[in-house]
Structure 1
């Protein structure tokens, strides 16, 4: 494990941001960290990147104690925060050279590394433009490039795609995936559950300053339950369709939808056959698997109480 936290605690006056948080990140993996606003995600990153001291607990990066030896940790990590740390009056190349010099690279090496990153992050054509003229997606790519100037072993990304349009977000996803293929460990917090589903090898869900679940995206989805068939109904004959389907399956209903637990595509075909035999045509019908949105709502307590898991931390690895 290249990142380890044990019993991590942090309070701000009367607010306990972290209350005994434990987590591990394996070298070379992308860990997605999910949680509602105020769950403690950014506080966790600030502690792991030496920007903040925990009140209690043990935190190590590459085996080095973050509190006792922060100067040894910093050359091993990179950080892209929620807001781009760029000087808008400098060009992209000048920004990267500046970061290189701050990392104590010589002038020639800083320039060489800047040009290398500009190519890697598809910014070479705009290298000599002031970054104040950049789009949001370009600024985030440049900010990510700046965090890579020192070739970190662990890259911390705190909601890096917030506010980006879908095209810019997909471009950043490609960059992050490429970093993983190069052996960089990525610690990613995000509000976009599709982003965690797309990128993360493993996901940790944090709520109220503690880990409440962890596992692969597929395993976490299993916590919610299996697939369901959703039948969108015409309200005028809702009760009839519900009765027909209810005679074969245990169903749940809303005003516009009937939900049937499904074993897979065969259930969908069976429902279509039953409705067709009764000459009932649904407005729509689909087979749906649980998403991370479902997992998030259940685990953080926003779903119905019957769906909620036990209050103890859930390990879905």
Structure 2
């Protein structure tokens, strides 16, 4: 018996397996992605990939809406091919990703066999920071008189935000039987890192808005029809639902007190604990960017319909 001849294919298979495992390792973890189309502005997405017993699994946060699981992924010639799933019936999307070293990815989004936008990604930062020992005195973000310190974004040609009676109002009523164009969102001109936020909102029945922290993480305001708790009042959109049995109580003033340190968030609504220092895995749909390590603005969603009013918006930041 020629032991060398028998050992050779075993060794070769082992080396291939080891190389494939190393290739997979380069892609695992959470990634802050930027998608750049041939025309138009770049936009953020996010993906997390894990190795579950040799099978690559994960979840993807698209440009808007909720996160969704990937269909599958495999390594081919050093590239990770991620089956993202259908964009529309008969239109399959995949990502072809290559490791660029030092916690970076590059690639292309393919629609069927056709190349689409380019992809770039960086390893999502841990943002693991201790709770500050002291905070500054709360300062107003909205003066109650005008839009000083705020600017419309998105559909700025259809800005419905006004200051009225001490309230920041998205004066964008829904008209039954009419499909109205989307209106603008509004954001602070100042950017923030860690903070304590107090904000009060009155959202009408059927209204839909959101409070975005650092412009990336949405605290849901209003309703998306009640089908998914994680899309209802007080949810961290698609990541964490409000407490079991919580009611939307739309059409009434309600307050939120939010503490965000690193990627851990605590939320009280009208004094009741909704989210207790939970981790934000990544940006939610509608994020302004995927630069999680950087400070960002607050923004309020106004591109849905409903006369939604905000007031008494204050912020504290860590004392230096």
Question: Same fold per TM (> 0.5)?
Answer: no
When Rg is computed on C-alpha atoms for both structures, the one with the higher figure is 1
Higher helix residue share? 1
More strand by share: 2
